């Protein structure tokens, strides 16, 4: 990863890109305000503490200057004064809502203050609005979101944060490490990963990278090596099962069953196994396996959605609707839940509800993929 100073500089560049020229500031009749704003801008990259002091003086004249609060936050962040940066960014975001880059930047400041839940939430909000097309900044924000997700044991979200980085070719050690931890559901962070676990995480990360990057020539040997070297480690057989899903579903099923034998409380393996059973029209066992997943993680939307699909396959429509409605409440932005809920409503003759779910499915599916990014 880059140094904090370099990240701060990348952030300033991103903010410069996203914040439009403040015409009201340029037209302000206060000569003192214009001079302070000019000097602060000139000091941003090289003297962030001086820039912060100048922005504070300018804001004392014009406290409603939204961009000034955001630039103040950027300068304070670059100077390592994260609590002050967070407060300034919050004021800027409140004065000028609807901008993705400042929200993501706010999340980065919250991450540095160990407020991981807020950090992840704000970065995700920023991504949903759209970030500046500045790869260094996007990478810095996504990497921190991935680490925040790991700290919250949200391994799926950690993986989703680094996925676009991998597809852009980012194979830095830090990204490989996050990939390995996420794919193995490892309850560690890069900073506290035991030395004995590093070979496992590094190999798992390289295998996951090759898989996500669609490097077929690298994937097969790496997954074979992973399974041979670490046959009894939790997470390994789940990874191998996901890798084999498309080209050998029979082998994938056996991998998921092995994973459940090794890690008896593994929920993702149960979800994947249930989905395979649904495809094979083994609805009764699929309902059983998906039900176990729900019992283990009752607040997980994917578990309820999978149970709903299994129940729908078993022609238990009313129960399927209940499970899918629960999934939609837990994760309303999950498009596929609305797709299956539409089918369930149609079977139940609830056509108005079915049309509503179809519209939501179409809306969510139309959302664009994240912007391309590069190495940190």
pLDDT for residue 44: 86
Structure tokens at 32: 């003192």
Spatial contact of 165 and 373, defined as CB atoms under 8 Å apart: yes
Residue 115 has pLDDT above 60, yes or no: yes
**Domain spans in the chain, listed from the N-terminal domain onward:** 1-152
Spatial contact of 151 and 116, defined as CB atoms under 8 Å apart: yes
- Who has greater pLDDT, 25 or 360? 360
pLDDT for residue 21: 41
Quick: pLDDT tens for 163-208: 999 999 999 999 999 999 999 999 899 999 999 999 999 999 999 9
Please spell the DSSP secondary structure of 259-316, one letter per residue.
HHHHSTT-HHHHHHHHHHHHHTT-HHHHHHHHHHHHHH-TT-HHHHHHHHHHHHHTT-
Residue 29 has pLDDT above 60, yes or no: no
Place 30 in a pLDDT band, splitting at 50, 70 and 90.
confident
pLDDT for residue 366: 83
Spatial distance between the Cα atoms of 325 and 194, rounded to a whole number of angstroms: 41
Quote the CATH superfamily of domain 1-152.
Tetratricopeptide repeat domain (1.25.40.10)
Quick: pLDDT tens for 342-361: 999 999 999 999 999 999 99
Contacts of 217 (CB under 8 A, 6+ apart): none
Nearest to 135 by CA among 373, 376, 375, 318: 373
- Averaged over 14-25, what is the pLDDT? 51
Spatial distance between the Cα atoms of 103 and 4, rounded to a whole number of angstroms: 19
- C-alpha 54 chain-centroid distance: 35
Place 12 in a pLDDT band, splitting at 50, 70 and 90.
low
Residue 88 has pLDDT above 60, yes or no: yes
pLDDT for residue 371: 39
- CA angle 211-212-216, nearest 5°? 35
Place 233 in a pLDDT band, splitting at 50, 70 and 90.
very high
Burial of 213 (0-12, 13-18, 19+ CB in 10 A): middle
Judged by phi (left if over 0) then psi (alpha if -120 to 50, else beta), residue 235 lies in left
């Amino acid at each position: 990863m880059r140094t904090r100073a370099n990240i701060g500089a990348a952030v300033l560049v991103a903010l410069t890109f996203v914040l439009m020229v403040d015409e009201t500031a340029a037209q302000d009749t206060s000569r003192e305000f214009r001079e302070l704003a000019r000097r602060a801008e000139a000091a941003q990259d090289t003297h962030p503490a001086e820039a912060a002091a100048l922005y504070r003086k300018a804001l004392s004249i014009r406290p409603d200057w939204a961009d000034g609060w955001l630039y103040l936050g950027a300068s304070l962040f670059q100077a390592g004064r994260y609590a002050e940066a967070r407060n300034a960014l919050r004021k800027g975001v409140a004065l000028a809502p609807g901008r993705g880059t400042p929200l993501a930047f706010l999340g980065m400041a919250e991450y540095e203050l160990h407020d991981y839940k807020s950090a992840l939430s704000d970065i995700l909000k920023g991504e949903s609005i759209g970030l500046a097309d500045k790869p260094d900044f996007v990478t810095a924000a996504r990497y921190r979101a991935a680490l925040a997700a790991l700290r919250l044991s949200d391994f799926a979200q950690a993986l989703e944060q680094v996925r676009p980085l991998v597809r852009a070719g980012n194979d830095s050690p830090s990204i490989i490490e996050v990939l390995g931890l996420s794919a193995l559901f490892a309850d560690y962070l890069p900073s506290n990963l035991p030395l004995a676990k590093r070979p496992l995480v590094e190999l798992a990360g390289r295998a996951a990278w090759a898989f996500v990057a669609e490097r077929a020539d690298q994937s097969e040997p790496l997954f074979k090596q992973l399974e041979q070297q670490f046959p009894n480690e939790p997470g390994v057989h789940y990874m191998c099962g996901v890798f084999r899903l498309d080209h050998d579903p029979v082998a994938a099923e056996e991998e998921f069953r092995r994973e459940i034998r090794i890690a008896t409380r593994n929920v993702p393996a149960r979800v994947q196994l249930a989905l395979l059973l649904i495809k094979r029209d083994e609805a009764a066992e699929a309902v059983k396996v998906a039900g176990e997943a729900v019992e283990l993680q009752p607040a997980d939307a994917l578990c309820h959605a999978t149970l709903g699909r299994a129940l729908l396959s078993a022609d238990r429509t009313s129960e399927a609707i209940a499970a899918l409605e629960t999934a939609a409440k837990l994760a309303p932005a999950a498009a596929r839940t609305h797709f299956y809920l539409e089918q369930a409503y149609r079977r139940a003759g609830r056509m108005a509800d079915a049309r509503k779910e179809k519209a939501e499915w179409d809306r969510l599916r139309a959302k664009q993929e994240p912007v391309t990014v590069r190495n940190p």
